[in-house]
């Protein structure tokens, strides 16, 4: 009760100081929020490109229907395979007519359908790396009635390299941003605690136990961190809204990321306060 009352009173006694530290925490986390927004959207863009990775196994005209269906079932049973679609010769022709209208007459006047049937294999998300694509393609090639297997090897390699660079850059930059934010939050909290070091020392001198002194500060640190986190969330959402409304379509960050941001702001607020208070507790 005393802890909570003192923490709230501290905000009321020096609203400018506590507001300023919450704002510093908010701005520091806002930078992290913007980074998260950019990373999330880049990741989504890469994933949407990755979804187009598919292995197409062309079937000889002589293949029997039952062996095609068996192959389809076997491929579907592979753990990395998400789906296998059978495109019949007729469907292939239909797709060609639709997707390639410039060759419309060529496909219309045919006496015999020259296009082969095929099995289109889609891989699960996270299993679209070049090695897996190569392995599944090799597996499909084992069937004697499969004439050829295509998957755009060069394209898959480039995409995967891009993904790795993106992942590494995001990790390094994310860690750097988080560290900068941590330093700023730490400094903001230290300033707030420094302004009240006398209070800590007086409490020590009149016989307060360390825990009794520390608790209201920790609650205050948690509130500052939470307020900063909420401010960062609001600023990030504002940026998202402006970009979405006036520039181009972007996706909002996942709810768990936002939750993690709030939680880390709060936890770090508590942690940094604990460290700052400890310094003064040891002085008297």
Partner 1 sequence: MIKLINVTREFQGKGKALDDVSFHIKKGEFAFLTGHSGSGKTTALRLIHMADRPTEGETRVSGFSSDRTSRREVWKLRRRVGFVFQDFRLLPGRTAHENVAFALEVTGARSAGIKARAQRLLTQVGLAPKAGSMATELSGGEQQRVAIARALANEPLVLLADEPTGNLDDRATRGIMELFWELNALGMSVLMATHDLELVRKHPRARVLELDQGKLVYDSMKAATAESATTDEAEASTAGG
Residue in 89, 163, 190, 204 binding partner 1, rule: CB under 8 A: 204
Token pair for residue 138? 């090799």
Q: What are phi and psi of 143, to 5 degrees?
A: -70, 130
Minimum CB distance to partner 1, residue 219 (Å): 16
CB 121 within 8 A of CB 102: no
Among 111, 112, 205, 247, binds partner 1 (CB under 8 A): 205
- Asked whether position 194 contacts partner 1 by CB under 8 A, the answer is no
Give the binding range for partner 1 (CB under 8 A) out of 34-42, 176-184, 202-210, 232-240: 202-210
- Minimum Å gap between C-beta 267 and partner 1 is 26
Q: Is there a contact between 272 and 185 (Cβ–Cβ < 8 Å)?
A: yes
For residues 73 and 65, the answer to whether their CB atoms sit within 8 Å is no
157 touches partner 1 by CB under 8 A: no
DSSP secondary structure letter of residue 51: T
Q: Decide if residue 2 touches partner 1 (CB under 8 A).
A: yes
Asked if residue 14 binds partner 1 (CB under 8 A), the reply is: yes
Strands 54-59 and 117-123: antiparallel
In the 3-class helix/strand/coil scheme, how is 264-282 assigned residue by residue?
HHHHHHHHHHHHHHHHHHC
Question: Does residue 184 touch partner 1 according to CB under 8 A?
Answer: no
The CA distance from 97 to 104, in Å, is 6
**One residue of 88, 141, 199, 267 binding partner 1 per CB under 8 A:** 199
Residue closer to partner 1, measured from CB, 14 or 113: 14
**Residue 4 or residue 284: which is nearer to partner 1 going by CB?**
284
Which of 209, 234, 241, 254 lies at the binding interface for partner 1 (CB under 8 A)? 209
Q: Note whether 79 binds partner 1 by CB under 8 A.
A: no
CA atoms within 13 A on the CB side of 145: 18
User: Which residue in the set 164, 198, 242, 244 belongs to the binding site for partner 1 (CB under 8 A)?
Assistant: 198
Output DSSP code: residue 112: S
Taking CB under 8 A as the binding criterion, the range among 209-217, 218-226, 238-246, 272-280 that sits at the site for partner 1 is: 209-217
Please give the C-alpha separations between residue 172 and each of 28, 167, 178, 179, in angstroms, as whole numbers.
Answer: 17, 9, 10, 11
Count of positions on this chain that bind partner 1 (CB under 8 A): 20
Q: How far is the CB of 282 from partner 1 (least distance, A)?
A: 8
- CA dist 178 and 97 (Å) reads 53
Give just the sign of the alpha carbon dihedral 226, 230, 231, 236. Answer: positive
Radius of gyration of the chain (CA): 30
Residue 201 sits in the site that holds partner 1 (CB under 8 A): yes
Which of 208, 243, 250, 275 contacts partner 1 by CB under 8 A?
208
Report the distance separating Cα 207 and Cα 63, nearest Å.
91
Stretch that binds partner 1, among 64-72, 73-81, 198-206, 255-263 (CB under 8 A): 198-206
Q: Give me the residues that bind partner 1 (CB under 8 A), please.
A: 2, 13-14, 198-199, 201-210, 212-213, 282-284
């Amino acid at each position: 009760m005393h802890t909570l009352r003192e923490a709230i009173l501290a905000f009321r006694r020096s609203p400018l100081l506590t507001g300023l530290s919450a704002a510093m925490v908010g701005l520091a986390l806002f930078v992290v929020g913007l980074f998260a927004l950019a990373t999330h959207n880049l990741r989504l863009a890469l994933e949407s490109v990755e979804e187009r990775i598919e292995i197409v196994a062309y079937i000889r005209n002589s293949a029997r229907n039952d062996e095609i269906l068996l192959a389809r079932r076997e491929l579907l049973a592979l753990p990395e395979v998400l789906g296998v679609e059978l495109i019949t010769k007729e469907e292939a022709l239909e797709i060609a007519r639709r997707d390639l209208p410039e060759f419309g007459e060529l496909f219309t006047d045919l006496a015999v359908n020259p296009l082969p049937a095929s099995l289109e294999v889609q891989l699960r998300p996270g299993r679209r790396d070049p090695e897996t694509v190569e392995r599944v393609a090799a597996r499909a090639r084992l069937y004697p009635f499969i004439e050829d297997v295509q998957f755009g090897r060069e394209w898959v390699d480039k995409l995967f390299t891009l993904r790795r660079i993106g992942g590494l850059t995001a990790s390094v930059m994310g860690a750097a941003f988080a560290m900068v934010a941590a330093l700023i939050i730490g400094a903001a909290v230290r300033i707030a605690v420094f302004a009240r070091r006398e209070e800590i020392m007086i409490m020590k001198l009149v016989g307060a136990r360390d825990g009794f002194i520390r608790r209201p500060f920790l609650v205050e640190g948690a509130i500052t961190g939470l307020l900063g986190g909420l401010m960062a969330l609001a600023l990030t959402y504002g940026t998202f809204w402006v970009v979405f409304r006036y520039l181009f379509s972007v996706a909002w960050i996942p709810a768990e990321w936002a939750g993690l941001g709030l939680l880390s702001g709060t936890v770090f607020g508590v942690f940094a306060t604990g460290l700052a208070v400890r310094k003064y507790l040891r002085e008297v």
